[in-house]
Amino acid sequence: MALQFDNSYLRDLPWAALRLAPDAAPAPRLLAFNDDLAARLGADPDDLRETAAAWLSGAALPPGADPAALAYAGHQFGGFSPSLGDGRAHLLGEVIAPDGARFDLQLKGSGRTPFSRGGDGKAAVGPMLREYLISEAMAALGAPTTRSLAVVATGEDILRDGRRLPGAVVARIAASHIRVGSFQFFAARGEAERVRALADHAIARHDPDLSGTEGRYLAFFDRVVARQARLIAEWMGLGFIHGVMNTDNMAVSGETIDYGPCAFMEGYAPGTVFSSIDRQGRYAWQNQPLILGWNLARLAEAIYPLFDANPETGVAIANDRLDRIAGQYQAEWLAVMRAKLGLSGQDAGDQALVDDLLAAMPGADWTLTFHRLAEAATGDLSRLRPLFDDFTAMDAWLPRWQARGPDATRMRRANPAVIPRNHRVEEALDAATAGDLAQFTALLAAVRAPFTPDEAYMLPAPAGFGRYVTFCGT
């Protein structure tokens, strides 16, 4: 069965995108293909695999696709750009799965568009396989995320920092590509009716129970807040650092989107930053909850006129909502940490229990500490202890936690053994760029089963790996 396309974004909001075809890749070759996701979309994986190199690279268009580059704006590192848009991506359309679920299918790295500014519209094999790998890891870890259907090498070299690198396109599936910055684009132009139409479209798509109801725009804002607060709490619990939480990279669906310089923290250090361009540490691990609120304030600025006929009332309502976000996030974070610590029910001391654990943890591997705390729950400290340089604070903390009755079984479901370790990701992508996919394939299999211990993929980077720095891959 072929993919079933619809194009509601272009139908409802024809002024929100520019219709144009992706570049035709000269010699497309499939590097990675997601059978499970193909099946989820209603395709026969073997059939789709046959056509994937052409359809998912821009070399040919699947029947029903109507490619377009979407307009959006965004605050990048705090500064506003009124016109960003898809500068190297083409939305092929929406795939309707057999159960009726609707997914955007987008190509990234598929050529220049009117939004490209100085860029070449292309992407290299390494960063596109990176998006595939990390998004698949996030899905397996249970975090809301866009997913990758395929990566296709284009057969064309591109230039990055004076180096020739093999080019590639990632085919990405998303609940939608509606970003905070999508609303900002029209709000900044004073196009109030377009902001409203976009909001109605987003509601139909993500919160259909609100469609047509009175007060739907405020209710929609509340839903976005809830989804994004949950998402960031999940990230924090996983030690995931997105790296570019610009408003154009925050989806109203609440999915993780735009895997660029993201990476997982190893030794616990709340100020951890990996991205080479984040010199101030704006998007450091510990700042992500603050940026959540900052970005949602930008969404509120774009849509508050929809909250009430009287703009002053709209502002007051928005401010009231924004004042509550920190508390909403805190509740989500506590829920994530209760699960990680195997605690059921709620105890007034839980917040302090979490804070005191973090105070005892600097330097200890984030992922392994929680994984081995599940062993500590049954009294075995032998593998936890070596993770710490100084166990004194833990010796004081453990009895308090044990008195709360942690459930080791629950902890094993909440705390992964395997995450995409930075040194493993780098070696796999380097080999793939040089033409050898064996390490990538093995790493992908490991991160797709994150709760199954696999010692080879659990170790932190060796000391010689040094400080890890990531690049946007543009």
The residues assigned a catalytic role are 248
Name residue 29's beta-bridge partners.
Answer: 153
Could you give the string, one character per residue 113-152, with x where binding to ligand AMP holds by CB under 6 A and - elsewhere? --xx--xxxx------------------------------
Q: Taking the complex as a whole, how short is the minimal distance between the CB of residue 89 and ligand AMP, in angstroms?
A: 6
With respect to ligand AMP, which residue has the nearer C-beta, 148 or 249?
A: 249
Sites for ligand AMP among residues 65-104 (CB under 6 A): 84-88
Partner that binds at residue 127, options Mg ion, ligand AMP, none, CB closer than 5 to 8 Å by kind? none
When asked if residue 258 is in the footprint of ligand AMP (CB under 6 A), the reply is: yes
Give the interface segment with Mg ion, choosing from 36-44, 163-171, 245-253, 296-304 (CB under 5 A): 245-253
Sites for ligand AMP among residues 195-254 (CB under 6 A): 244, 248-249
Sites for Mg ion among residues 257-276 (CB under 5 A): 258
Q: Which of 209, 191, 211, 192 is nearest to 200 (CA)?
A: 211
Query: For the packed helices 438-447 and 422-433, what is the interaxial angle rounded to 10 degrees?
Result: 150
Closest residue to Mg ion, based on beta-carbon distance: 258
Give the interface segment with Mg ion, choosing from 143-151, 247-255, 307-315, 393-401 (CB under 5 A): 247-255
C-alpha–C-alpha distance, residues 145 and 130, integer Å? 14
> Are the CB atoms for 168 and 129 separated by under 8 Å?
yes
Helix ranges (H only) for 273-391 are 288-303, 311-340, 350-360, 366-376
C-alpha–C-alpha distance, residues 272 and 469, integer Å? 11
C-alpha–C-alpha distance, residues 416 and 452, integer Å? 8
Q: Taking the complex as a whole, how short is the minimal distance between the CB of residue 72 and Mg ion, in angstroms?
A: 9
**Rg of the Cα trace of the chain?**
22
Q: Taking the complex as a whole, how short is the minimal distance between the CB of residue 86 and ligand AMP, in angstroms?
A: 5
Q: What is the dihedral of CA 390, 393, 394, 397, to 10 degrees?
A: 180
* Residues ≥6 apart with Cβ < 8 Å to 423: 461, 462, 465, 468
With respect to ligand AMP, which residue has the nearer C-beta, 110 or 328?
A: 110
Q: Taking the complex as a whole, how short is the minimal distance between the CB of residue 51 and Mg ion, in angstroms?
A: 28
386 CB neighbour count, 10 Å cutoff: 12
Question: What residue ranges bind ligand AMP (CB under 6 A)?
Answer: 84-88, 115-116, 119-122, 244, 248-249, 258, 260, 472, 474
